[in-house]
Amino acid sequence: MTTRITVVAGDIRIGDIIYNGLGTSKHPTDTWEAITEVNSVDGLIQLITGRLDGPHGEFWFEPEESVVVIRHPPAEPEPVVEKPHNKRAHGH
């Protein structure tokens, strides 16, 4: 399950999803884009959505400015499964 949260720009992570204005589609999720890069430039936080070498979105915030993002919860770690230790007697 995803969660819409408000964080300060300095706490935004790669993979968070940010609202990118009104899209041309009627589907509301088409206006949310995943953050692919987070940079600190001259005391500001620069967020990039998409690839730098192609069309992308760019957002600038003060580090303490509030930003609403959608964040997926961290993945559950896979349980450790102990492998059986089959020790065979080797007759030489």
> Based on the structure, what is the number of domains in the chain?
1
Q: Is residue 80 part of a domain?
A: no
**How much of the chain is in helix, strand and coil states, percent to nearest 5?**
10, 40, 50
* Domain-located, residue 45: yes
User: Does residue 89 have a pLDDT over 70?
Assistant: no
Spatial distance between the Cα atoms of 49 and 56, rounded to a whole number of angstroms: 5
Q: What is the CATH number of the domain that holds 35?
A: 2.30.30.30
Q: Look at residue 84 and tell me if it is in a domain.
A: no
Answer yes or no: is 92 within a domain: no
Task: Tell me which residue has tokens 């069309």.
Answer: 55
Higher-pLDDT residue of 33 and 88 is 33
Q: What is the domain range of residue 17?
A: 3-71
How would residue 52 be classed by pLDDT, with cut points 50, 70 and 90?
Answer: low
pLDDT value at position 60?
94
Determine, yes or no, domain membership for 85. Answer: no
What is the value of pTM for the model shown?
A: 0.68
Q: Per-residue pLDDT tens for 20-48?
A: 766 555 655 567 889 999 999 999 999 99
Cα four-point dihedral sign 52, 36, 12, 20: positive
Q: Name the phi and psi angles at 88, rounded to 5.
A: -100, 145
